[in-house]
Amino acid sequence: MARGAKEDPAKDEKRAMWYLRKIPLLEGVDQARLQELAAAVEIREIPRRQVIYLPGDPGDRVFFINGGRVKCSKVTRDGKELTLAYRGAGQLFGELCIIDGTPRDEMAEAMKNAIITEVPRELFTELLQTDNRLCFNFACIVGDRRRQIETKLEHLVFRDVQAKLAALLLELGGEYGVECEDGLQIGLKITHQEMANLIGSTRETISLTLAQFKKKGLLDLNGRTVVLKDQEGLSAMT
């Protein structure tokens, strides 16, 4: 588009509607309400490693991912990081602002080039209040994520590094695993530092533990690609 040219609002709404229809949570929302959303949302393309929001930023919108991957994490003032979760296409994040609209207390960052749909908090809250099915499905997502956080907390407090890493690898295998000749390949490129942030460890400890797992024949490593060769053996360690 030439510099200074005006975008076509009808074309923007059509694009927004296309993205909204791809979001599983919004399945079943009637056409008229989706049209209201399409007229109010903003579609953004986020480059890899760009921060979407920081602690203290306004909790004034809910985000849906239409493509790419987003990391949500807690970061201390001295730079230490604990990854809460990765969110992928079709998922939402920043959802807790719906409760009371308070400022963010976590950071969200694009791990891959991402396309996100931003929905104003007031509009999404109104939609939840008028659509019982959507409200229930939203509550299920929030509840499931609460359960995941409680499990993560249990692991951080009561398990050693080997058990936490084995559990993480099995979780990643369950979500991103692709069967291959040597076992189950985790179809997600993840660095040792990212693994450390997910389980509250250090990059050096993760590298050492992965090497030990490889020596025991539990997995194989190829750069940032991990192949789980003995899932039962990993499970026994958790």
- 8 Å CB contact between 13 and 39: yes
Average pLDDT in the chain:
91
d(CA 194, CA 125) in angstroms, rounded, equals 33
Distances (CA, A) of 183 to 62, 200, 211, 232, 235: 38, 27, 17, 12, 15
Dihedral sign, CA of 25, 26, 27, 28? positive
**Surface-to-core class of residue 25, CB atoms within 10 Å of its CB (0-12 exposed, 13-18 middle, 19+ buried):** middle
List beta partners, residue 87: 70
- 8 Å CB contact between 90 and 108: no
> What percentage of the chain reaches a pLDDT higher than 70?
96
Res 187: pLDDT? 87
184-209: per-residue pLDDT in tens? Answer: 999 888 899 999 999 999 999 999 99
- How many CA within 13 A on the CB side of residue 214? 12
Q: Indicate if the pLDDT at residue 2 is higher than 60.
A: no
pTM here is 0.81
60-102: per-residue pLDDT in tens? Answer: 999 999 999 999 999 888 878 889 999 999 999 999 999 989 9
121-140: per-residue pLDDT in tens? Answer: 999 999 999 999 999 999 99
